[in-house]
Amino acid sequence: MDNLILQLKNQIIEVLNLEDMTADDIATDAPLFGEGLGLDSIDALELIVLLEREYGIKLSNPAEGKQIFSSVASIADFVSKNRKK
């Protein structure tokens, strides 16, 4: 799980262009939206694309997104249980 968390942090930094940030700067349990990293709705869409492209996960219920994307830890938990690749 630690490897997946690190991989996710690096992928988030890359796809969201979080320049000047490293994986160490993203707290695993910190909120990604609002406070914390301060991501917005476009970032959320980009994360949905990331899950599909890198892990073969297609979110069937958009309402789940709020919980899944609440932190890196929650994304990692969801990916580990649902990944197709």
| Binding site residues, another protein, CB under 8 A | 15-20, 38, 42-43, 45-46, 49, 52-53
Nearer to another protein, 42 or 63 (CB): 42
Q: Which amino acid is at 41?
A: S
Shortest gap between Cβ of 27 and another protein (angstroms)? Answer: 17
Least distance from C-beta 63 to another protein, angstroms?
A: 19
Instruction: Please report how close the Cβ of residue 53 comes to another protein at its closest, in angstroms.
Output: 5
Residue 2 or 20: the one with the smaller Cβ distance to another protein is: 20
Q: Using alpha carbons, select from 9, 20, 83, 17 the residue that is nearest to residue 53.
A: 83
Tokens 């262009």 belong to 17
**Which phi and psi (to 5°) does residue 53 adopt?**
-70, -45
Whole-number Å distance between alpha carbons of 15 and 36: 17
Secondary element (H or E) of residue 55: helix 41-55
Looking at the Cβ atoms of 51 and 76, the one nearer to another protein is 51
